Amino acid sequence: MNFLRNLLASILGSLMAFGILVGMFFIFIALVSNVDDGVVVKRNSILEFGFMAPVVDYTGKDDTDPFLGLWNNEVGLDEIVHAIRVAKEDSNIEGISLTTNFLQAGIAQTREIREALLDFKSSGKFVYAYSDYYSQKDYYLASVADEVYLNPVGAMDFKGLSTEILYFKDLQEKTGVKMEVVRHGKYKSAVEPFLSNTMSAENRLQIQELISSIWNVIVDDVSASRNITPEDLNVIADTLGARTPKYATASGLVDGNLHFDEYEDLLREKVYIGQDEDLNYIRFEDYALTANRKRIYTGVDKIAVIYAQGEIFYGEGGKDYIGQGLIVDALRKAKDNESVKAIVFRVDSPGGSALVSDIIWREMELVKEKKPVVVSFGNVAASGGYYIGVGGDKIFAEPTTITGSIGVFGTIPNVNELAGNIGINAEQVGTNKNSVDYSLFEPMSDTFRNTIEEGIEDTYQTFLERVAAGRNMSVDQVDALAQGRVWSGVDAQANGLVDELGTLDDAITAAAEMAGLDGYGIRKYPKYKSDFERFMENLGGVKSKIGEEAIKEQIGAEAYQLFSEFKQLSKQKGIQAKMPFSLNIK
């Protein structure tokens, strides 16, 4: 009896202690939130942009979430652009200082930020930039500034774009672990890394043309901002003419070599304060809390902006991957909401499950019968990412968007050779001729391969028909542009795969025109689970996230990217409409 009484007392005491700890934690979070709510923008303030966190199109943050930001260190492109627009009209903000190093954003996202900064400058306010080291992407963003400065002992990278693709044929032969690849017969480059150790001429040509088109956009934009001809910029790149601070200044890419304190003296002159006075900096992260409460778009009528970002997998979906659950639900809510008059579908995806892509495409068709749908492509809208957007009434892409890759394939792991080498033998028993499913431990049978090929051919044909209907082309015309070929946004527009080149805001403006709206507000979808909800549902998820960050820190960013690609590969099920290789353009 005493044992039971002591046991119950211990359990009760533990529960009370846990409750007290949780209560204290919430009090702490509330206090932190109250401090954030008290952010004050002083007169003569300078908005400081120094992004360290990865940039995604949309984080779905809830400002009322007490756990906001505890585990999610991403920043939304929508937040960045919105904050710049609010700052443009904020009389307390005199200008912007860009101090970004190693910007973790795609080239299309970088260009969209750049466009917002150009618009900010149209108000007469200044944009200055400073860095100890400019990567090419950092400089592309910084080049929009009125003046650009580099540390006298810093460095700069300006040499043109390149990319690297890893090939695994020998690795498969040495380990006995291989990927069985089933693809449409004409795909010269599809899943090539699993079939060869070298890049085919066709693949090299398409990648060369892709990155050259993207580089030309960057060069043209820098040329306009820095008043240097594209020809001279390419000479600088070819000769590494900006490799030292002095060369960077002599070439005209930067305006001078200054230490940071000297750069701050220039800022003091811009805001008309003495050299011994402190600058009123306000960090973007703090200003965003204020900016998020101010609406640029206002009106009873709404335009829904639905974000689809990440690879495409069967399931509910979330902020890191696209599933039919959240996206279909968001499309239906926007369609059925009477205040929503038009929809903008924002896509940033290399593709994935062909089945899920078609489910989302079908829902887009149903929505389009009731309301205008404009599609906006971000960093990448390839294969399944293109598939889900092709049904829109009008498609916008950034000039640097990786677009197209219209094709399907299947990759299935097989360890038959490895199993034989280590003494494993698998035996199957079935009731009918084809009742035994595919086994990792046995070579792929001709019957199974033929069945998969049949499914891939059907899916590819369906994909072509979806694109032909959406783009008002013949199936043969689409097929000539397909075969897994990737295009830049510029080339995609020239080939009729997109309608216009422009930002997300350009797409929103077009949607408003199609709906006949003068004034309108914005409603964003989908609504993701908050950090608090995910924390309470699965404590293991937090540990997993922390574990992945630890792995990344230990093995380095490039090795972790390879690890992540293999991890995503293991999740693929069914026929894939996905970019057949990973491009890390740098």
428-463: per-residue pLDDT in tens? 898 988 888 788 888 888 888 888 889 999 999 999
Q: Answer yes or no: is pLDDT of 206 > 70.
A: yes
Q: Answer yes or no: is pLDDT of 252 > 50.
A: yes
Q: Answer yes or no: is pLDDT of 483 > 90.
A: no
* Spatial CA neighbour of 195 closest among 456, 482, 582, 581: 581
Rounded distance between C-alpha atoms, residue 520 and residue 298, angstroms: 5
Q: Answer yes or no: is pLDDT of 304 > 60.
A: yes
Helix or strand or coil: residue 544? helix
Task: Compute the CA torsion angle 535, 537, 539, 544 (nearest 10 deg).
Answer: -90
Would you say 390 and 361 are in contact if contact means Cβ atoms under 8 Å apart? yes
Q: Answer yes or no: is pLDDT of 348 > 50.
A: yes
Q: For this structure, is 383 an active site residue?
A: yes
Q: Answer yes or no: is pLDDT of 548 > 60.
A: no
pLDDT greater at residue 564 or residue 292: 292
Which has the minimum average pLDDT: 24-38, 307-321, 436-450, 489-503? 24-38
Q: Answer yes or no: is pLDDT of 550 > 60.
A: no
Would you say 319 and 528 are in contact if contact means Cβ atoms under 8 Å apart? yes
Which has the minimum average pLDDT: 406-415, 447-456, 545-554? 545-554
Q: How large is the average pLDDT for residues 492-501?
A: 97
Which secondary-structure segment (H or E) carries 125? Answer: none
**Set 45, 189, 383, 405: catalytic member:** 383
H helices of 284-389, in order, are 284-291, 324-336, 354-368, 384-387
Q: Cα dist. 576→210, 311, 384, 497 in Å?
A: 22, 11, 8, 20
Q: How large is the average pLDDT for residues 561-571?
A: 53
Q: Answer yes or no: is pLDDT of 535 > 90.
A: no
Q: How large is the average pLDDT for residues 473-488?
A: 92
pLDDT at position 542, please? 45
Q: Cα dist. 245→234, 504, 508 in Å?
A: 18, 36, 41
**Set 121, 159, 188, 333: catalytic member:** 188
Rounded distance between C-alpha atoms, residue 223 and residue 216, angstroms: 10
Using the structure block, give the residue that is written with the tokens 């639905």.
306
Q: For this structure, is 188 an active site residue?
A: yes
pLDDT greater at residue 446 or residue 308: 308
Rounded distance between C-alpha atoms, residue 9 and residue 356, angstroms: 52
pLDDT at position 36, please? 47
pLDDT at position 474, please? 96
Which secondary-structure segment (H or E) carries 147? Answer: strand 147-156
Q: 432: buried, middle or exposed (CB in 10 Å: 19+, 13-18, 0-12)?
A: exposed
pLDDT at position 543, please? 45
Both tokens of residue 451? 């069945």
- Mention every residue, 6+ apart, whose C-beta is less than 8 A from residue 403: 377, 380, 381, 382, 386, 397, 486, 487, 488, 489, 491, 492, 497, 498
Would you say 92 and 236 are in contact if contact means Cβ atoms under 8 Å apart? no
pTM across the whole model: 0.86
pLDDT at position 31, please? 47
pLDDT-derived band of residue 95, with 50, 70 and 90 as boundaries? very high
pLDDT greater at residue 334 or residue 542: 334
262 in the Ramachandran plot: left (φ > 0), alpha (ψ -120 to 50) or beta? alpha
Q: Answer yes or no: is pLDDT of 585 > 90.
A: no
Handedness of CA 532, 538, 540, 545 (dihedral sign): negative
123 DSSP β-pair partners: none
Q: How large is the average pLDDT for residues 147-172?
A: 94
State the pairing for strand pair 351-353/576-578: antiparallel
pLDDT at position 192, please? 85
Which has the minimum average pLDDT: 274-288, 387-401, 566-580? 566-580
